[in-house]
Amino acid sequence: MNLSISEFGKNIWAWMFWGLVFWLVLELGPFFIAGWVFKKTAGELAGPYLAFAVPWAIMAPLMWWLRKGEERGISPKRLAHGWGLGMALFGVALAVAVFYSGVELRLMDRKDAVVSFIVVVLLGVPVFYCTLYRRALPRISARSAGKLGGP
């Protein structure tokens, strides 16, 4: 299978694979530092390391689907809702990874982590959704208008 750069965005599996490889490589540095600072073994860091792979595994197919939807001509408002919901889901998955890692590495008490997670989700989801919706709508609308040749 020979994929060129121009064909990279057309294949979701290539997008997912290389995106996940890039994401995990970026995580290596912080986890080496965490292992050194907290004196943890690779086995103790494996769960938290993999927990941080889940948000990308959620967001990558969603990003690919939204970009393809934009090419197909889905309405800008609907796409902006999709980006907002995707960011909210990404934020929740990232919060799960952070609090799971905190508990797993014994940096947080389990009860405190649950309460903090609930607060983060209740406050973060609306902020993530509204922020990305408001930022995505003008950009998607401008790209859509550009494709149609309008103002």
Taking only the tens place, the pLDDT of each residue in 51-83 is: 888 888 888 888 888 888 888 888 999 999 999
CA atoms lying within 13 Å on the CB side of residue 47 = 13
Q: Is 66 inside any structural domain?
A: yes
Q: Is 13 inside any structural domain?
A: no
Read off the amino acid at residue 77.
K
**Residue 124 sits in which domain range?**
41-148
pTM: 0.76
Q: Is 21 inside any structural domain?
A: no
Q: Is 34 inside any structural domain?
A: no
Whether 31 contacts 25, CB under 8 Å: no
Q: Is 29 inside any structural domain?
A: no
Q: Is 104 inside any structural domain?
A: yes
Considering its fold, how many domains does the chain have in total?
A: 1
Q: Is 23 inside any structural domain?
A: no
Q: What is the pLDDT along the chain (151 residues), one digit of tens a residue?
A: 454 445 555 677 777 788 778 877 887 888 788 788 878 888 888 888 888 888 888 888 888 888 888 888 889 999 999 999 999 999 999 999 999 999 998 889 999 999 999 999 999 999 999 999 999 988 888 887 776 555 5
Backbone angles phi, psi at 74, to 5 degrees: -65, 145
Q: Is 55 inside any structural domain?
A: yes
